[in-house]
Amino acid sequence: MKVILKETVHGLGEKGDVVDVAPGHARNYLFPRGFAMEATRGNLKQVEHLQKVRAQERAREESQLRELAARIDGIEVSITARAGAGGKLFGSVTAQDLAQAIRDSAGEELDRRKIQLAEPIRTLGRREVVVRLAPGIEASVVVVVTAEGGQPPAEASGEPAAAEAAEPQEPEQEQAPAEA
């Protein structure tokens, strides 16, 4: 007996497939559970129409994703984070942070799972991150992580600490001659 699957059935086929099954299997299992319907001419035409509509929807979604990829490809996103000596961040920049930064700078809503980040960013600097919107549709975003306060990475590596350590020594030397 030929049936049209309404749902994906393991070991039988995908949704929309026309498969040949035993009549008892169709009557006792597939039909009562709503997994399949009989393959009549009317049902086959209805399924063909639904498949055409789904193909058009997929094509429309794909074109929208390609347009989105073109809009965000190559944009530069700046993220500020607290950093310690050596340019190491207190915490990390995650895919969620990157999605928020892209939303703020480009106005485009992205799912964090689309951002291909092997591990969270833990250091200051500039890096390129891939955004995989769909299979075969990718965009590249440049992420610049800077220290809070606008300090460049060189200053965050400890140079200000050396300058601050030199300042208190000068007033102490001036006070010593005044006491004598």
At 126, give phi and psi (nearest 5°).
Answer: -120, 135
Confidence band, pLDDT 50/70/90 cuts, at residue 124:
very high
Domain architecture of the chain: domains with CATH: 2-53 (3.40.5.10), 71-157 (3.10.430.100)
- 3-state class percentages of the chain: helix first, strand second, coil last, to nearest 5: 45, 30, 25
Summarised one tens digit per residue, pLDDT across range 129-147 is 999 999 999 999 999 999 9
State both tokens at 116: 């291909």
Q: Give dist(CA 44, CA 50) in Å, integer.
A: 10
- What pLDDT, on a 0 to 100 scale, did the predictor assign at position 50? 86
Summarised one tens digit per residue, pLDDT across range 29-56 is 999 999 999 999 999 999 899 889 989 9
Distance of CA 89 to the CA centre of its chain: 21
